[in-house]
Amino acid sequence: MTAAHQATSESIHQTATIARTQLKVGLEIHVELATRTKMFTRVPNVAHPDYYDAEPNSLVDPVVAALPGVLPVMNRRAVEMAIMVGLALNCDIAEFSKWDRKNYFYPDLPKGYQISQYDLPLCGDGAIDIPTRDTATGDVGTRRIGIIRAHLEEDTGKLGHELPGGHHYAGSLVDLNRAGTPLLEIVTQPDFDSAESVVEFAKELRNICRFLGVTEGIMQKGHMRFEPNVNVIIETTDGHHFATPIVEVKNLNSFRSVRGAIEFEHKRQVEEWRKTGRVMGRGMKQTRGWDDVNLVTVLQREKEDAHDYRYFPDPDLVPVTVSAEWLESIRAQLPELPIQRKKRYMESYELPAKDAQKLVDERDTCFLFDAATKLSVMGTHGGGFGGEPKAGYAIAKLLLNNVAKRGNELGKEIGELGLSAAQIAELAVMKEKGTIGAQAVDPILAALATEAGASSESVAACAERLGLVQVRDDGQLDVWCDAAIVAQPQAADDVRNGKDAAIGRLVGHVMKLSGGKVDAKSVNERLRAKLGR
Amino acid sequence: MTTIAPDERVLHAARIASGNASAEESVRTTLARIADRNPKLNAYRETFDAHALAVAAALDRAPASAKAKPLAGLTIAVKDNIATTEGKTTCSSKILANYQSPYDATVVRRLRDAGAIMVGKTNLDEFAMGSSSENCAFGPVRNPHDTTRVPGGSSGGSAAAIADSLCDIALGSDTGGSIRQPAALCGAVGLKPTYGRVSRYGLVAFGSSLDQIGPLTRSVRDAAAVLQVIAGHDPLDSTSADTPVDDYLATLDQPIKGLRVGVPKEYVSEANDASVNAAVERAIDTYRSLGATIVDVDLPLTDLGISTYYVIAPAEASSNLARFDGIRYGYRAPLSRDEDLFDLYAKSRAEGFGAEVKRRIMIGTYVLSSGYYDAYYKRALQVRRLIKNEFDTAFQACDVLLGPTSPTPAFEIGKKSDPLSMYLCDVYTVNTNIAGICGISIPGGFATVGGSKLPVGLQLQAAAFAESTLLRAARMLERAYAGG
C-alpha cells in the first residue's frame, strides 16, 4: 500500500487517530580493537590494556602525527581480529578488500583524511541470534539480527578543553593517543523493533568481542560506541502507514544512553509527525546527539549540509587479500562463542536455559566455570563427581547460587572476586564428597573472597582453619546420636511411632553436639536405624 | 658532433674507500664551489657545511673496513621534499618554511649508510608541482648553461647542482618527469625507477601512486650505483616491491646483444624542437651502428597521458596536502578574535601555499567530488589501465623505448606563463609514471639557441623492474657518445 501517497490530504497527520506505532532501528557500532600497536604504525595502541592510562600525546609517532613523508603500514593482527568478529557474526569474509581515504578537515584528524573501507568492506552479509528474555515469564528465546557489513578503519584523536589534572584551558587541546587505533565499524540491518532488543544485541556483541579477546569492552573508555538509526512506522486507525524520517543518533557509549536515546526518539518522532506530517524521503535524514543530562536528543545537522567525503582508494596501501589458508588459521583461533557454550551447557550438563545464559553473560564467569569444571574431574579431584556432566551441573549451581551471593555482598561479578578455578573445583568436590556440609560453603566463600580480594588459601586449609571439616568417624557419630536420643526422649518416641517430622529435632541436636561438623544426611540415616525406621 | 664525457664519481668513491683520496678535501672543494656558484643558480636552499666536513673527517679517520662503502665520501644533494634530520624539509613552500623533520627518509638513511655525505637540500617547484623550478617560495632556480633559463623541474635544484658539479650525486623525485626533464635540460643523467623499486618513506607525497625517488648524476654508472643502494623493499612503505634487486653495476658495461630499440612514431613530433628530433635521429643511428635492431612502435595513447595525469596526480595531491592545516606544524596564519577554526584552515592554507599548488588542490578536489568522480577520476583510472596495457604490448616487441625527454631545450625564465603550456613539457615523461615503468634521461647532444649551447636529453624507457636492461642500454649510448 502506498499510504504516503493516499494520505496527501493536508491535515491527516493532525486529525488521524494513531492505532499503533512501531519502532524501526538499525545500529552502527564502532569497536576499538585491542591490538598491541596501532592500525597503520607500530606505536602502542591506547585501546590495549597496557596503555589505557598513557599520558596525553605519549602514543604518537611521525605516522600518527601525519608528518610530511610518512606512510601507513597495515597491522595484520587488526585484520585478523576484525575477521574473527566477522566470523562470529557469520559474515562472508572478502577475499579482496581495499583501503579508501575519507577526506575531511578536523583538528583530531591529523592527515586530513581517515583511512577506511568504502565499497569493499572486509566482512559482509552476516547475522546472529541474540537471546531475548520475556520480562513477564523470564523465558529465554532468540531473535535474528542481520549484519550488513563490518569494515576496518582508524580512530581519530580527541579534542578537549582541559589540561591534565582538570585545569581549564582557554583554547582547544588535541590528544592524539587515540588517533590511529584500529576501529571496527559494524552495521546491522534495521531489524530492531525496540530499544530493549537493541540493548540486548549491544550487550551480546560486547560479550562476543570479549570472548574473542578483541577488546575488553570497557564502555567508559569508549571501547564500544553505538549509533542507532531510528524511525517510527505510524499506523492510523483507518489503516494508513506513515514512516517518519530516519534520525541517526551519534556516539552513544553506554547501554543506558542507547536505550534512552531510542525511547526518546520514538516519542519525539511521533510528536514531530503530529506537528509537521513529514515522512521519510530523500535528504530528510538528520543527525542528532544525546544529551545525557537532560535526557533528550539534540539536532546536530541536517542531511542537506552533509559532507562530501571524496572517498577514493588509498594509493599508499596495497589491497587486503585474505587467502584460504589465512582465513582457516584465523578460524582455528576462534574460541567457543557464548551461544555455542550455552547450547553445550544445556545439553551436556542438563542446565536450564536460564542458568546456562547466566553463565555465558559474563566472560570471566564463564571462563571460571569451564576451568573449574575441567579441574574437578581431573587429577587430584578425580572421582569426586561421576564424570563431567554431573560436575558441570554442580559447579554451575555453586557459582550461580553461593558465589553469586558472595559477589552481591561485595558488589562484584562472579569473575571479579578473584577466586581461582582450582578453589571453585576443590570447594565443589569437597561438598560432593561430604568432606564439608552444604552449610559450610558460604562461610568458606566469605573467608576466601573478601573486600580486599581473594585469598590464595586452599579450600581444604580454609575449611580446616574454620573447623568446618565433616567428622567421618562412625563411632563418634554413634555417641552423638545416642546422646540425642537420650536427651530428647519425646522426639525419639514420636519417630518410633511414625511421626517423621520429629526427626528434625534429633538431627538438630546432633548437629549442635558436633558443632556442625557432621553431614546432616548421615545423621538422619543413623538416627532412623537406631529408632527402627 | 660534440662528445659528452661522463664523470663517474663512484671511481672517486673507490679512491676514498681505499684511502687514496680524502673525503674532507672533496667536501671542501664542493662547498667552495657551492659558495661561488650557488648565489647565481639558487640550486641549494641550504647547505650543511659543518655537518658535511665532520662526517668527511670521520670517514677519513675510519679504519679501512669502515671506509669500504660503495659511495664512500661522495657529496650528495637532496631534493628538499625528502625528509632529512639535517636542516629543514620545506618542499620550497612557505607552509613548511620552518619545518624540521625528526626522521630521515629511508633513501637518505641508506645513502648515509653507504658512505655518502649530505651537503645540502635543493630547491624545487613547490611540493614538486611544476616543470621549471620557478614555482618556488625561495626564488627560481637557474640553468647553469644559461642563467636566464630554467633548469627544468621539479627537481631543478638537484639538476642544476649535479650539472654544475656542486655535488657528486643528487636525489630527485619524479611524479610525471620531475627527474628526467630537468636532467635533460641541464645535461645530466636522471633515472626514474619502476614504481615500488625505491621506498617512498620520507618523500613528501604529491601523487602517491606516481611518485618515485631517483638519482641525478653525471654518468650512467653513478645512477646505477645510487640505485643499487636505494632500491629494495622497505617495511615502512607497503607499496615498495619485494622483487629482488639486480646487480646493476656487475652487468653495466656489457652491451646487450641483439638489443631491440623501439621508437614510437608518436615521440618524433613536428611539435618538437628540431634539435630534439635531431638528437633522437642520431641516437637511432648510433644504436644501429652498435648492432641494435630498431623497431617501429605504436603508442597511440601517448597524447592522453597529460590529461590522465592531471586528473590522477591532483586528486591524490588534494588529499595528500590536507595534512598541512596549520594545526600541528608548519605555517599558521595569525587570526583575529572573531575568527574560528574554518578561518584558521582557510587562511593558513591560502597564505601558505603558492598559486600552482592551490590550483592543483582545487582540480583534485573537484575531480573527486560526488557527481564528478565517475566522469573524471574513475575515467582517468580506466585510461591509466589502457596506457599500461599499451606499454606491456610494446615491450613484447622491444627491450627499450627511445625518444626525447622534453620537446624543447631549456626555455627562458618567465616564458611559460600559462599552466597548460607548462604541463605539456611532460608529454613524453608522464606515461612512464602512469604505467609505473622505469625511464632514464641521458645527455643526447646540444642545441644552440640564441647564443647559448643548451643540452638536449634522450629518454629510454623499459618495462617494470627492467632497470638492468635500461641502464645497460643507456650505458651503450653514453659510451658511444664519449668515443669509448
Q: Which of A71, A111, A112 sits opposite B237 (nearest CB)?
A: A71
Q: Give the pLDDT of residue A480.
A: 86
Half-sphere exposure of B253 (CA within 13 A, CB side): 4
Among B102, B236, B318, beta carbon nearest to A73 = B236
Segment A413-426, tens digit of pLDDT: 898 898 999 999 99
Q: pLDDT tens-digit profile of B38-90?
A: 999 999 999 999 999 999 999 999 999 999 999 999 999 999 999 999 999 99
Residue contact B322–A113, C-beta within 8 A: yes
Chosen from B320, B367, B369, B374 to mutate, greatest number of chain A CBs within 10 A: B320
Provide the pLDDT for residue A2: 43
Nearest residue on chain B to A176, alpha-carbon basis: B328
Q: Which of B204, B240, B391, B387 is nearest to B311 (CA)?
A: B387
The dihedral built from the CA positions of residue A252, A255, A257 and A259, taken in this order, carries a sign that is: positive
Bridge partners (DSSP) listed for residue A102? A114
Return mean pLDDT, chain B.
Answer: 96
Interface membership of A173 toward B (CB under 8 Å): no
Cβ pair A67, A43 in contact under 8 A: no
Nearest to B209 among A103, A174, A315 (CB): A315
Of A65, A315, A317, the CB nearest to B328: A65
The DSSP bridge pattern shows strands A320-321 and A453-454 to be unpaired
- Is B178 considered catalytic here? yes
Low-confidence ranges of chain A (pLDDT < 70): 1-10, 134-135, 137-140, 303-306, 379-384
Q: Is B357:B206 a contact under the CB 8 Å cutoff?
A: no
Going A236 to A241 to A244 to A246, the CA torsion angle's sign is: positive
B2 confidence band (pLDDT: 50, 70, 90): very low
Q: Determine, for residues B201 and A69 on separate chains, whether the beta-carbon distance falls below 8 Å.
A: yes
Q: Which residue of chain B comes nearest to A111, CA vs CA? A: B323
* Sign (positive or negative) of CA dihedral A474, A476, A477, A479: positive
Contact A70 B315 (CB under 8 A): no
* Closest C-alpha to B112, from B32, B34, B31, B229: B229
Neighbours of B87 (CB within 10 A): 18
- Write out the three cell numbers for B335: 587570526
Collect all residues of chain B within an 8 Å Cβ-Cβ radius of residue A308: 369-370
pLDDT in tens, B137-161: 999 999 999 999 999 999 999 999 9
Active site (annotated) includes residue B65: no
pLDDT at residue number A84: 98
Question: Å from A81 to nearest chain B CA?
Answer: 20
Amino acid in the structure at residue B239: T
Residues 112-131 on A with a CB inside 8 Å of B are: 112-113
Tell me how close the Cα of B204 comes to any Cα of chain A, in angstroms. Answer: 4
Do residue B328 and residue A66 have CB atoms under 8 angstroms apart? yes
Domain architecture of chain A: domains with CATH: 3-321 (no CATH), 338-465 (no CATH), 474-530 (1.10.10.410)
Closest-CA distance, B208 to chain A, in angstroms, reads 6
Element (H, E) at B454: strand B452-462
- Test mutation, A42, A43, A57, A67, chain B, max B CBs within 10 A: A67
Q: Model confidence over B323-381: pLDDT tens digits?
A: 999 999 999 999 999 999 999 999 999 999 999 999 999 999 999 999 999 999 999 99
Q: Considering chain B, what percentage of its residues have pLDDT values greater than 70?
A: 99
Residue B202 region by backbone torsions, left for phi larger than 0, else alpha for psi between -120 and 50, else beta: left
Catalytic residue among B93, B101, B131, B178: B178
Nearest residue, CB atoms, B103 vs list A62, A107, A311:
A62
Looking at this predicted complex, what is its ipTM?
A: 0.97
**Residue A283 contacts B, CB cutoff 8 Å:** no
Question: Nearest Cα to B305, choosing from B313, B315, B297?
Answer: B313
How large is the average pLDDT for residues B202-222? 98
- Assess contact for B223 and B168: CB atoms under 8 A: no
The contacts of residue A493 (CB under 8 Å, 6+ apart) are none
Residues on chain B touching A311 (C-beta within 8 angstroms):
368
Amino acid making up residue B427: V
Interface check A66 vs B, CB under 8 A: yes
Q: B4 pLDDT exceeds 70?
A: no
Distance CA B384, CA A200 (A): 50
Please judge whether A315 and B208 are an interchain contact, meaning their C-beta atoms are less than 8 angstroms apart.
yes
Count CB neighbours of B242 within 10 A: 7
Domains and CATH numbers, chain B: 9-256+462-482 (3.90.1300.10), 303-381 (no CATH)
For B326, which residue in chain A has the nearest alpha carbon? A107
C-alpha A446, offset from chain centre? 27
CB A157 within 8 A of CB A57: no
The alpha carbon of residue B325 is apart from the nearest alpha carbon of chain A, in Å, by 8
Evaluate if residue B5 carries a pLDDT over 80: no
Q: Which residue of B lies nearest to A68 if distances are taken between CA atoms?
A: B204
Catalytic: B275?
A: no
Q: Which residues of A touch B108 (CB under 8 A)?
A: none
DSSP A245: P
Record: contact B202-A107, CB cut-off 8 A: no
